[in-house]
């Protein structure tokens, strides 16, 4: 059973049950900046429908209003001119600066409270950038606080140091009906305070989020502006345009913004500027672009200032003398781009580069700022390069040679000796968006790569290989002599290969799940005080995300603990440490409970997403709290599994026990509040509910949450992996044993289903209909 969802009004709940965002959920602002491109597929159907509607015959005019209804509309509705005059002082221009200090992006926003609170879109304010707000009277204010933000809804509340600002009234987005006349104000394409009117064409559910579809043109710069009804009330926040039609846009309902107002997660600007920023002691960006970090990965987007969009990110670690090697694993968002390694850099325009570019691999010597000073030493495609996937690039630098590898296969050798020494790092070109991980320097990095022995690979490849030989013209001609028979034969062969491919994928999944299971058991068999609960919880995320870099997230947690420890005064007692931990997590870094209908998203149970998005459910936030407490020397902090709501308990050796609700920003709970959490579920409260949960019990509860989400999803079979892990950790879990038997039956695994049913018949657990189990067993 999932931990209890926060209480919400009926209207708010209805408005936010669809909280799985249409905007890209790589919990990142950079992804939000690309929302129009990524959403073109999602909005295609709505766009085509709207275009078709424009060409369809006009609907008959509705009958004229009469009597009181007509009089009410005449007295309540305002003209567009009157609305603009009333709301213009409340609409603002929001901009953030690039690394060079110049204005990098412009969007819109509007005042929601007189004390300086302004609503906008998250992608408008950027990430780790100074933000400026310009009011309608020309006054400029620097943003001093990010009051609240939600990546999934692409919303943000920012605060400026100003008083007596004219706030706009917020409407009820549930009352905004299809066909309603609306007005939008913003700064499209930098044209400030532009006004446009249109109608609500539909309410759309895109991938789980409720959006207002508008017959209204939205351009870059409109984002964050208010969508107003004819009474001047805000019903939505403009967020994106259609890629298919100039007169089609979307807005996030204002009811979602009300949730942020009700439950903010404020972060001071000094802290916001460090979120996702590169550590200047480790990396130095050169020639612009937007470089950021996210738990072990370095990500880049935007054009660099160099010719061809070139930009570098140089390591602060000195390169060894030759011979040495450097390596990185890179993934491009589009194979027309280019990004990879640089070495022998003078810190500016001169360096070597080895990188994928336009489907090929390329080794280039850059001798200056323009293309005329570039020398392509080698360029060729490689069968070992995997387009659209992660690829490991490695370069060996010797005094008289350069050797370049992709995925541990040699692709280039060069005797060019023009440059040696200098700095090493990363590069990107054009408008490429790329991610880098596992950057390394050393004398022999091939040995560090987790490659299997050659004889093992040959053996497994031979066993799995069922590939068809390449079709040469002779074979094609022979097949064409009997085309119908050949077509049927080839279709059957394709079906067999599809089946084999599915079986191989299933085998790969079984191997991966087995490795997760073994490591979990190994961790949880240790003494309780030695068990790394954070690593165990991360493994649950890695189950569904095999590429997850565990070490990077473990290092991020270690860095957080070190930062928090450095803030503690010497000889801090437990009470001071608890308060410092709560302040660090909830007030300085903005960690918060999921406040939208996306509460039941698997990401809220993945610790990597909790760190990235600073959002989670009670149990995942509790894991973070417990593990940070352990790392700063705060003892006797444990989880407590109340029914429907997970909390944290601090039981000091001296002093009163404290129950802490981390989902509510570290709020201390009174005994009566704890009792209410239990009794509201229909249970009788006993002290046993306050027992500290073991780390094994915490992991099993997280797995049950994930299994419950999978069970209610469109692919309930995905629950099997979670059920396997639950039973590996707790073989006596009767309900999961029966559920797995049924899941195995649906998946066609009769042997596995019989095994689970046989176990139930032998153990005869209570509360199980054994006669029904026998019937199922006999049916197999």
- Residue 457 is predicted with a pLDDT of 54
Residue 438 makes CB contacts below 8 A (sequence gap 6+) with 296, 327, 328, 329, 392, 549
Beta strands in 316-408, from DSSP E residues, in sequence order: 324-332, 338-345, 351-357, 360-366, 374-380, 391-397, 402-406
Strand partners, 378: 363
Strand partners, 95: 106, 132
Q: At what angle do helices 770-779 and 734-746 cross, to 10 degrees?
A: 30
Helix (H) or strand (E) holding 501: helix 483-524
DSSP states of 155-194 as a string? EEEEEES--S--PPPB--GGG--TT-EEEEEE-GGG-TTE
CB burial readout 88-115, b (16+ within 10 A) else e: eebbbbbbbebbeeeebbbbbbbbbeee
Helix (H, G, I), strand (E, B), or coil: what is residue 739? helix
Helix (H) or strand (E) holding 707: helix 695-711
Residue 94 makes CB contacts below 8 A (sequence gap 6+) with 106, 107, 108, 109, 118, 120, 124, 125, 131, 132, 133, 158, 224
Q: What is the 3-state secondary structure (H, E, C) of 59-97?
A: CCCCCCCCHHHHHHHHHHCCCHHHHHHHHHHHEEEEEEE
CATH code at 15-54+74-269: 2.40.10.120
- Residue 503 is predicted with a pLDDT of 87
- Residue 568 is predicted with a pLDDT of 94
- Residue 102 is predicted with a pLDDT of 54
Residue 320 makes CB contacts below 8 A (sequence gap 6+) with 441, 442, 443
Q: Is the dihedral of CA 722, 728, 733, 739 positive or negative?
A: positive
DSSP states of 402-451 as a string? EEEEETTEEEEEE---S--SSEEEEEEETT--EEEEEEEEES--GGGS-P
CA distance 203 to 555: 43
The gap from C-alpha 375 to its chain's centroid, in whole angstroms, comes to: 39
Residue ranges, the chain, pLDDT below 70: 1-75, 97-105, 128, 188-192, 207-208, 219, 241-246, 295, 447-472, 596-598, 714-717
Going by the DSSP 8-state scheme, the letter that residue 692 receives in this structure is P
Q: What radius of gyration, in Å, describes the C-alpha atoms of the chain?
A: 30
- Residue 451 is predicted with a pLDDT of 59
Domain boundaries 283-448, CATH class:
mainly beta
Q: Which of 720, 762, 715, 716 lies closest to 741 in space, CA to CA?
A: 720
* 588-599 per-position pLDDT tens digit: 998 999 876 667
Same fold for the pair 283-448 and 526-693:
no
User: Vertex 236, ends 257 and 265: CA angle to 5°?
Assistant: 15
- Residue 439 is predicted with a pLDDT of 93
- Residue 207 is predicted with a pLDDT of 64
Is the distance from CB of 269 to CB of 278 less than 8 angstroms? no
pTM: 0.76
- Residue 16 is predicted with a pLDDT of 35
Residue 301 makes CB contacts below 8 A (sequence gap 6+) with 30, 33, 34, 289, 290, 431, 432, 433
- Residue 158 is predicted with a pLDDT of 96
Spans of all domains in the chain: 15-54+74-269, 283-448, 526-693, 715-780
- The matching CATH number, chosen from 3.10.620, 1.10.238, 2.60.120, 3.30.60, for 526-693 is 3.10.620
């Amino acid at each position: 059973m999932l931990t209890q969802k926060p209480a919400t009004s009926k209207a708010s709940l209805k408005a936010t049950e669809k909280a799985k965002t249409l905007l890209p959920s790589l919990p990142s602002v950079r992804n939000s900046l690309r929302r129009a491109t990524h959403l073109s597929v999602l909005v295609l159907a709505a766009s085509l429908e709207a275009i078709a509607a424009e060409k369809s015959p006009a609907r008959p005019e509705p009958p004229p209003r009469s009597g009181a209804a007509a009089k009410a509309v005449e007295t309540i509705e305002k003209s567009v001119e009157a609305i603009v005059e009333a709301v213009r002082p409340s609409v603002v221009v929001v901009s953030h600066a690039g690394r060079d200090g110049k204005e990098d992006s412009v969007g819109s926003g509007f005042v929601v409270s007189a004390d300086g609170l302004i609503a906008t879109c998250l992608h408008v304010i950027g990430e780790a950038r100074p933000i400026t707000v310009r009011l309608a009277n020309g006054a400029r204010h620097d943003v001093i606080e990010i009051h609240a933000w939600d990546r999934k809804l692409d919303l943000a509340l920012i605060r400026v140091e100003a008083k007596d600002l004219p706030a706009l009234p917020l409407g009820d987005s549930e009352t905004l009906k299809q066909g309603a006349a609306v007005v939008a104000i913003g700064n499209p394409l930098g044209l400030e305070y532009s006004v446009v009117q249109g109608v609500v064409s539909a309410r759309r559910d895109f991938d789980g989020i409720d959006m207002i579809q508008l017959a209204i043109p939205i351009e870059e710069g409109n984002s964050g502006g208010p969508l107003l009804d004819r009474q001047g009330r805000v019903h939505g926040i403009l967020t994106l345009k259609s890629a298919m039609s100039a007169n089609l846009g979307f807005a996030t309902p204002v009811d979602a913004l009300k949730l942020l107002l009700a439950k903010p997660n404020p972060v001071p600007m000094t802290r916001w500027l460090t979120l996702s920023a590169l550590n200047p002691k480790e990396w130095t960006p050169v020639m612009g672009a937007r470089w950021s970090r996210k738990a072990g990965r370095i990500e880049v987007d935007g054009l660099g200032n160099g010719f061809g969009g070139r930009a570098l990110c140089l390591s602060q670690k000195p390169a060894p003398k030759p011979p040495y090697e450097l390596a990185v694993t890179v993934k491009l968002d589009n194979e027309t781009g280019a990004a990879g390694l640089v070495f022998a850099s003078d810190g500016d325009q001169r360096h070597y580069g080895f990188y994928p570019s336009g489907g090929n691999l390329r080794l280039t010597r850059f001798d200056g700022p323009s293309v005329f000073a570039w020398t392509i030493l080698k360029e060729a495609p490689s069968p070992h390069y995997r387009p659209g996937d992660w690829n490991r690039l490695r370069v060996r630098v010797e005094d008289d040679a350069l050797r370049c590898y992709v995925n541990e296969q040699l692709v280039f050798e060069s005797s060019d000796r023009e440059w040696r020494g200098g700095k090493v790092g990363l590069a990107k070109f054009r408008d490429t968006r790329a991610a880098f991980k596992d950057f390394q320097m050393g004398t022999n990095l091939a040995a560090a790569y987790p490659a299997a022995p050659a004889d093992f690979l040959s053996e497994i490849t031979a066993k799995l290989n069922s590939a068809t030989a390449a079709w040469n013209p002779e074979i094609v001609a022979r097949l064409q002599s009997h085309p119908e028979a050949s077509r049927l034969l080839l279709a059957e062969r394709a079906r067999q290969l599809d089946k084999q491919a599915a079986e191989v994928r299933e085998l790969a999944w079984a191997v991966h799940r087995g490795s997760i299971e073994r490591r979990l058991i190994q961790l949880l068999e240790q003494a309780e005080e030695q068990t790394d609960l954070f690593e165990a919880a991360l493994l649950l995320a890695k189950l569904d995300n095999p590429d997850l870099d565990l070490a990077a997230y473990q290092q991020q947690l270690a860095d957080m603990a070190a930062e928090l420890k450095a803030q503690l005064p010497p000889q801090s007692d437990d009470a001071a440490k608890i308060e410092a931990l709560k302040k660090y997590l909830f007030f300085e870094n903005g960690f918060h409970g999921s406040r939208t209908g996306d509460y039941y998203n698997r990401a809220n149970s993945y610790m990597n997403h909790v760190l990235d998005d600073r959002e989670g459910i009670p149990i995942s936030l509790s894991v973070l709290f417990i593990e940070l407490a352990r790392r700063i020397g705060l003892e006797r902090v444990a989880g407590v599994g109340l029914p429907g709501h997970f909390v944290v308990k601090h039981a000091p050796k001296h002093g009163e026990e404290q129950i802490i609700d981390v989902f509510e920003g570290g709020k201390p709970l009174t005994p009566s509040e704890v009792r209410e959490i239990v009794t509201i579920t229909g249970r009788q409260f006993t002290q046993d509910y306050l027992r500290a949960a073991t780390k094994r019990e915490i992991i099993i509860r997280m797995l049950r949450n994930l299994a419950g989400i999978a069970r209610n999803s469109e692919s309930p079979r995905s629950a099997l992996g979670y059920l396997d892990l639950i039973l590996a950790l707790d073989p006596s879990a009767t309900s999961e044993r029966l559920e797995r038997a049924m899941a195995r039956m649906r998946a066609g695994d009769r042997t596995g289903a019989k095994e689970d049913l046989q176990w139930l018949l032998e153990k005869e657990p209570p509360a199980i209909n054994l006669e029904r189990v026998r019937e199922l067993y006999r049916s197999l």
